[in-house]
Chains A and B, each alone.
Chain A
Amino acid sequence: MAANKRTVLICRGTGCESAKSPVIQAALETELQGSDVEVKFTGCHGMCQQGPIVIIEPEGTFYAQVRPDDVPKIAESLIGEGGPVEKLFYKDPVTNEGIPTYHDIPFYSKQKRLVLQNCGHINPEDIEDYFAIGGYKALKKALFDLKPDDIIKAVIDSGLRGRGGGGFPTGLKWKFTQQASGDVKYVLCNADEGDPGAFMDRSVLEGDPHAVLEGMIIAAFAVGAQRGYIYCRAEYPLAIKRLHIAIEQAREKGCLGSNILGSGFDFDIEIFQGAGAFVCGEETALIASIEGHRGMPRSRPPYPAISGLYGKPTVLNNVKTYANIHLIINHGAEWFASIGTEKSKGTAIFALTGKIANSGLVEVPMGITLREIIYDIGGGVLEKKEFKAVQTGGPSGGCLPASFLDTPVDYDSLIEAGSMMGSGGMVVMDEDTCMVDVARYFLDFTEKESCGKCVPCRLGTRQMLTILEDIVEGRGKPGDIELLEDLALGVKAGSLCGLGQTAPNPVLTTLRYFQEEYEAHIFDQACPAKQCKALISYHILDSCVGCGLCLRNCSINAITGEPKKQHWIDQDLCIKCGVCYEVCPPKVFSVEIRTGKTEKATA
């Protein structure tokens, strides 16, 4: 690339596409026609909230929230004399100052992007872009310079552990599969990212699909497999489309199919679309699903490494695990093992979301603290509210309070705290989040997703959910907390698969760290976060100026009052939709939410 030749990168991940980035790309292409500026689209940059994102290379100028009518100004800055378009700079949520380049944005500068390094910088639909940054070099090295044993040793020595949440050493899994007897073996990629609040796998698949393919092909060579499947959820149409394109192009270039790169090694990959069952993230359930059965797990052993798909030895890893492989082969196991902590090597990718200033995809070295992720990278809690908890590991994880902010992020520390790494969801909660409701929310999820095969999970989650529903609806009774705990421990101990064994975690951690909220609900009929509808009521204070906004917006006419006089809410009619609270002008701020026994009495 010539030194001054510029490239405009337009993000076309799912987030930015929803904010009309294809329109922006088309407009930029038209405006820049005939110039020597190249217009290119890429996968996700990880800062979806600021989308659509446009980056100008080589300077690294970062434009956020670009609208189609900003395009002429961007084009002019590239062809004409004018400097960058300052009004499109990303504004620091704390200082409110514009930051011109992405290298200087704290969200990026504090990260260590290895697996995500290509996401947002290469065109995921063009294999040439992947070749240009050294793609498939690791595959060549693996096929021609290394023996299967060397590859497995490198992966073991690197310390890489499964990125799907379980954290089992990847190299060992490969070794078991390699040693298992049988001529037919399979390599599967788990892209059934079902944790609500997580989108890391989607972004990797959409932004850098070849990295995943390369990892799978190397795995296949190492264990001696001939066939691979990527099990991707149907809710990710863009990821599936890009995977199809990548597989097609890899076959054309001889990186996939028969006689790969002339080495004599045959391996091909197919995509299997999941059909919306969370439990299929569990390995034996996923295998049952590919075989055309209900996606129900079976007891292990035998593990898939010995008896997996169609009863054959099978390697099954997460998207991000495979996306790490080319790094290990290219840079060496020692280099990889130098990143992270003693027992958790490499980086962790999180989808940082919830009540946080900068939500998006972040990649950090293992061992960094939760505080660094939430405050330094994430910019802290939204609207200066009080931090209450951070939830990691999705429905299998737990909620950790502020006192755990200095916990290092690695597999073992998080499990010790009662949560888990999971596949990478990280949801920040503030003072307005009710922790009992959060527990109810997750149980509602796991109860629906429980496959029903084993009793502890099927009935245990149901019973826990019923108790939690009672508590948030004001029917909690003394003894509920103890019963919940009992049930949770039983389900944890007695369930067949990971879904049931971890489903009680949200209940156990909220009980452990936020028991006072449970007690407030049960004994005082109060929801401290003022979220549980059955326990709150809306009231208009005497500071009301009688503007009539609430009265006009109330859909069930529960508000009465004359102009310029204090209004009044009929508590018997009120459905607590909260619209009055929302529309009351901030200057007046006369609608109050009350909760607790005493308030109910006076209402």
Chain B
Amino acid sequence: MEESVQAILSRFEGKRDEIIPILQAVQDTLSYIPEDSMSAIARFTGVPASQVYGVATFYAQFRFTPTGKNTIMVCRGTACHVRGAPAILEEITSHVGLETEGTTEDLAYTVETVACIGCCALAPCITINEEVHGNLTKKKVRKILKEVNKNGGE
């Protein structure tokens, strides 16, 4: 892991305004931001580790624990909300065996909510591994999740 963080850092110059792009690159590669990578970024940019941590925790995009094989993002935008997003979220969490948002113990699924996917005309909608699924009903969700299951949760 340490090696891949170093490889990422080598693509940057070490300026303060690169902190967010570096964090994004780390998460792209490792699926999350490990604690020691933040110290490495601090050393690289010369910004105190506390501040790197402060920046990383400020933004909703960054995660500090590994994600599951499949990431399901449930839109909680207004259009989705009035068209039944809470019920969709409930259906998904109960299907994968979670109480609320989070990652399943077997690391098969991560369920998160996002402010808005920007597909409001297809409300309610979710993304599974970046693919958008829209106009959802509970029934459709069950069907889609069965498909994901069948593909071995890959």
Interface residues of A (CB under 8 A from B): 14-15, 17-19, 47-49, 51, 193-199, 202, 234-237, 272-273, 275-278, 289-296, 351, 353-355, 359-361, 391, 394, 425, 427, 429, 433, 438, 441-442, 445, 449, 451, 555, 577-579, 582
Alpha-carbon distance between A589 and B70 when the two chains are bound, in angstroms: 38
Q: Is B116 a contact partner of A194 (Cβ separation < 8 A)?
A: yes
Task: Specify which chain A residues have a CB less than 8 angstroms from the CB of B114 in the assembled complex.
Answer: 235, 276
- Would A49 and B77 be within 8 Å (CB), given that A276-B59, A293-B55 are in contact? no
Roughly how many angstroms separate A546 CA and B55 CA in the complex, as a whole number? 59
Is B60 in the interface zone, CB < 8 Å from A?
Answer: yes
Looking at the assembled complex, report how far the CB atom of B74 sits from the nearest CB atom of chain A, in whole angstroms: 12
Q: Which B54-110 residues sit within 8 Å CB-CB of chain A? A: 54-55, 58-62, 76-83, 87, 90, 94
Q: Are A275 and B16 within 8 A (Cβ)?
A: no
Q: How large is the interface on B (under 10, 10 to 19, 20 to 34, 35 or more residues)?
A: 35 or more
Q: Tell me the complex Cα distance, A441–B16, Å.
A: 36
Q: How far is the CB of B131 from chain A (nearest CB, A)?
A: 7
**B117 proximal to A (CB < 8 A):** yes
Most chain A Cβ neighbours within 10 Å, of B16, B54, B119: B119
Residue of B nearest to A355 (CB): B82
Q: Are A197 and B116 in contact (CB under 8 A)?
A: yes
Q: Give Cα distance in the complex from A39 to B12, angstroms.
A: 41
With A196-B77, A197-B120, A353-B120 as contacts: A445 and B55 at CB distance below 8 Å:
no
Bound: A235/B24 CA distance, A:
12
How many angstroms from the CA of A197 to the CA of B121 in the assembled complex?
A: 9
Cβ of B18 within 8 Å of any chain A Cβ, yes or no, is yes
B58 nearest CB neighbor, chain A only: A294
Are A18 and B23 in touch, CB under 8 angstroms?
no
B17 on the A face (CB < 8 A): yes
A236-B118, A275-B24, A359-B121 as given contacts; A294 in contact with B55, CB under 8 Å? yes
A276-B59, A353-B79 as given contacts; A19 in contact with B134, CB under 8 Å: yes
Looking at B116, B122, B123, the one whose CB has the most chain A CB atoms below 10 A away is B116
Partner of B81, one of A15, A19, A236, A441: A441
A-B CB proximity, top 9 nearest? A18-B132, A197-B78, A196-B77, A275-B59, A48-B121, A276-B60, A353-B79, A276-B61, A199-B118
Distance of A168 from chain B, by nearest CB (Å): 24
Q: A196-B78, A354-B78, A441-B81 are in contact. Are A294 and B116 (CB under 8 A)?
A: no
In the complex, chain B residues whose CB is within 8 Å of the CB of A199:
116, 118-121
Known A18-B131, A273-B24; judge A278-B78 contact (CB<8 A).
Answer: no
Name the residue of chain B whose CB is nearest to the CB of A237.
B130
Please, which residues of chain B bring their CB within 8 A of the CB of A273?
20-21, 24
Complex-state Cα separation, A18 to B77, whole angstroms: 18
Q: In the complex, what distance in Å separates the CA atom of A278 from the CA atom of B87?
A: 24
Asked whether A14 lies within 8 Å of B79 as measured between CB atoms, the reply is no
- Give every chain B residue within 8 A of A197 (Cβ-Cβ): 77-79, 116, 120
Complex Cα distance, B61 from A496, in Å, reads: 24
Q: In the assembled complex, which residues on chain A have CB atoms less than 8 Å from the CB atom of B17? A: 290-292
| Whole-angstrom CA separation of A360 from B123 in the bound complex | 11
- B115 in contact (CB, < 8 A): yes
Task: Kindly list chain A residues whose C-beta atoms are within 8 Å of the C-beta of B15.
Answer: 292
Residues in chain A near residue B82, CB distance under 8 A: 354-355, 427, 429, 433, 438
* 24 contacting pairs across A/B (C-beta < 8 A): A18-B125, A47-B121, A48-B121, A49-B135, A195-B116, A198-B116, A198-B120, A235-B116, A235-B118, A236-B118, A272-B20, A275-B20, A275-B23, A275-B24, A278-B115, A292-B16, A294-B55, A294-B58, A359-B121, A360-B121, A441-B81, A577-B87, A578-B87, A582-B138
A579 to B134, CA, bound (A): 20
Complex: A236 Cα to B130 Cα, angstroms: 10
Say whether A18 contacts B78, CB under 8 Å.
no
Chain B residues within an 8 Å CB radius of A17: 132
User: Are B24 and A234 touching (Cβ within 8 A)?
Assistant: yes
A290, B55: Cα distance in complex, Å: 12
Find out whether the CB atom of A14 lies under 8 angstroms from the CB atom of B115. Answer: no
Nearest Cβ on chain B to A297's Cβ, whole angstroms: 13
B19 at interface (Cβ–Cβ under 8 A)?
Answer: yes
Given contacts A15-B122, A197-B116, A234-B24, contact A295 B18 (CB under 8 A): no
Q: How far is the CA of A429 from the CA of B17 in the complex (A)?
A: 42
Q: Which of chain A's residues has its CB closest to B139's CB? A: A582
CA distance A394 to B62 in the complex (A): 24
Report yes or no: A14 in contact with B121, Cβ–Cβ below 8 A.
no
CB of A164, distance to nearest CB on chain B (Å) = 16
CA distance A275 to B62 in the complex (A): 8
Residues of A contacting B122 with CB < 8 Å?
15, 18, 48-49, 51
When distances are taken between beta carbons in the complex, the residues of chain B under 8 Å from A194 are: 115-116
Inter-chain contacts of A359 with B (CB < 8 A) = 79, 120-121, 123
Partner of B78, one of A237, A391, A578: A391
A264 CB to closest chain B CB, in angstroms? 28
Bound CA–CA A18/B132 (angstroms):
5
A contact residues around B54 at 8 Å (CB)? 294
Give the residues in chain B near A429, CB-CB below 8 Å. Answer: 82
A18 CB contacts on chain B under 8 angstroms:
119, 122, 125, 131-134
Q: Does A14 contact B118, Cβ atoms closer than 8 Å?
A: yes
Additional A-B contact list (19), CB under 8 Å, known A234-B61, A272-B21, A391-B78: A15-B134, A17-B132, A18-B132, A196-B77, A199-B119, A235-B114, A235-B118, A273-B20, A275-B61, A294-B54, A351-B121, A353-B78, A353-B121, A354-B83, A355-B83, A394-B78, A427-B79, A427-B120, A451-B58
